[in-house]
């Protein structure tokens, strides 16, 4: 079966109730038939048995299995949030004295982990510019254990050649971890280009309606086993209810991403050349600096586009205040179109120099394009630009 079909037809084994829709296993723990079975469950970590929903749960397992099938991964583990997936990926595989190489264009909270928290445990980091991938190899040290990228990046929509980076990681025997949140497995599968681990904030396009929080990491089985033990012992597990919602949402991910992308491309083309804008950025616009890479590793451009207001920081706030029905929130990947101004919100704690280094200019607007009629969306944007 193809991934689109597997996303719909992969379900927990049907119970005696003969339900058609997948059931929700809303339980914190599980029972045993004997004291011996209970002892064996705790003695042998390899047993395929449910003990406690912090360890495993059928609803969570179904969600993870679907993502694995869609990403082409051997195994996976779910977390309570996308940031829990990021943090768990770091803490499972690096220790005091180790070094991480990361793209500088990363989500604000990921930046905080790398620059504020990991150094407290003696973990070093080096940033590279996604527009200069030739500089990556020069940053790798003897103690480098992991290389981390978002592609497309948040919010600058920078794109990097995944195979190029994977070859460097393989040469130096370091883990290659990719945040695939913006693209989703419906658009891009980093494992086929050589990534070892792929993670998502499932809160975004995977849910698609701004309802629940969740994260997931998929990849090689031996790596996921190590992450499982870290998450089992430290506790950032995904709740069964959220997993059930996310698993149902994956059934429509492919059709939603097609619509998000067609709407986004339509709007990006309409905005190009607008007198109030310095530029418009979207992966499938030929003007995007990484367009040739995008068409090689993405099936469409996804649902995010950005543009730069000539009016700068004050113009960004004024644009948001001029919107009448389009949503202002810090989330993305919703069925409803969302506008945000990163310089004054999600990346406001960065210095001006730090923001500039990752492409967050004063007038940058990030648009998470929803599923509304594209003409309604563009009319709203053009009205606000006046």
Domain ranges of the chain: 3-250, 253-385
Q: Which segments in the chain show pLDDT lower than 50? A: none
Query: Within a 10 A sphere around the Cβ of 202, how many other Cβ atoms?
Result: 32
Contact present, 365 and 280 (Cβ < 8 Å): no
Q: Report the SS3 class of residue 139.
A: helix
Contact present, 260 and 334 (Cβ < 8 Å): no
Residue 345 is predicted with a pLDDT of 75
Of 293, 320, 294, 299, the closest CA to residue 309 belongs to 320
- Do the bridges between strand 215-219 and strand 197-201 make them parallel or antiparallel, or are there none, so unpaired? antiparallel
Name the pTM for this structure: 0.95
- What's the fold here for domain 3-250? 3.40.640
Contact present, 77 and 64 (Cβ < 8 Å): yes
Residue 155 is predicted with a pLDDT of 87
Residue 47 is predicted with a pLDDT of 63
Instruction: Tell me the CB-side half-sphere exposure of residue 207, using CA atoms within 13 A.
Output: 25
Residue 359 is predicted with a pLDDT of 76
- What's the fold here for domain 253-385? 3.90.1150
**Cα 330 to Cα 208: distance, rounded to the nearest angstrom:** 14
Rg (CA), the chain: 21
Contact present, 167 and 278 (Cβ < 8 Å): no
**Cα 102 to Cα 93: distance, rounded to the nearest angstrom:** 14
Residue 127 is predicted with a pLDDT of 96
Instruction: Tell me the CB-side half-sphere exposure of residue 183, using CA atoms within 13 A.
Output: 31
* Residue tagged 């193809």 (tokens): 2
**Cα 204 to Cα 206: distance, rounded to the nearest angstrom:** 6
């Amino acid at each position: 079966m193809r991934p689109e079909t597997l996303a719909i037809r992969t379900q927990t084994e049907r119970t005696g109730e003969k339900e058609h829709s997948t059931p929700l296993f809303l339980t914190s723990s599980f029972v045993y038939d004997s004291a011996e079975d209970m002892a064996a469950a705790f003695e042998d970590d390899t047993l395929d048995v449910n003990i406690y929903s912090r360890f495993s749960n059928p609803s969570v397992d179904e969600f993870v299995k679907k993502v694995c099938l869609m990403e082409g991964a051997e195994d996976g583990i779910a977390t309570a949030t996308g940031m829990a997936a990021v943090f768990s990926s770091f803490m499972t595989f690096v220790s005091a004295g180790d070094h991480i190489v990361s793209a500088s264009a990363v989500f604000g909270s990921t930046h905080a982990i790398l620059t504020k928290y990991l150094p407290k445990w003696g973990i070093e980091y080096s940033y590279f510019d996604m527009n200069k991938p030739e500089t990556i190899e020069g940053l790798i040290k003897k103690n480098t254990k992991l290389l981390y990228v978002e592609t497309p990046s948040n919010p600058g929509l920078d794109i990097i050649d995944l195979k190029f980076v994977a070859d460097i990681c393989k040469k130096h025997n370091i883990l290659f971890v990719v945040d695939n949140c913006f693209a989703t497995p419906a658009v891009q599968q980093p494992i086929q280009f050589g990534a070892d681990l792929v993670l998502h904030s499932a809160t975004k396009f995977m849910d698609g309606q701004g309802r629940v929080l969740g994260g997931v990491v998929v990849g090689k089985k031996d790596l996921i086993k190590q992450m499982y033990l870290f998450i089992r012992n430290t506790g950032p597990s995904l709740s069964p209810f959220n997993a059930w919602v996310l698993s149902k949402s994956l059934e429509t991910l492919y059709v939603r991403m097609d619509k998000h992308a067609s709407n986004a491309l339509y709007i990006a083309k309409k905005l190009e050349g607008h007198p109030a804008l310095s530029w418009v950025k979207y992966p499938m616009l030929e003007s995007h600096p990484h367009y040739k890479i995008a068409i090689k590793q993405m099936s469409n451009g996804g649902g995010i586009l950005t543009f730069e207001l000539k009016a700068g920081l004050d113009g960004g706030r004024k644009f948001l205040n001029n919107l009448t029905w389009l949503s202002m929130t810090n989330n993305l990947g919703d069925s409803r179109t969302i506008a945000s101004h990163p310089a004054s919100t999600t990346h406001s704690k960065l210095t001006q120099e730090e923001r500039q280094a990752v492409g967050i200019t004063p007038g940058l607007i990030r648009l998470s394009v929803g599923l509304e009629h594209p003409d309604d969306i563009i009319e709203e944007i053009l009205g606000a630009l006046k």
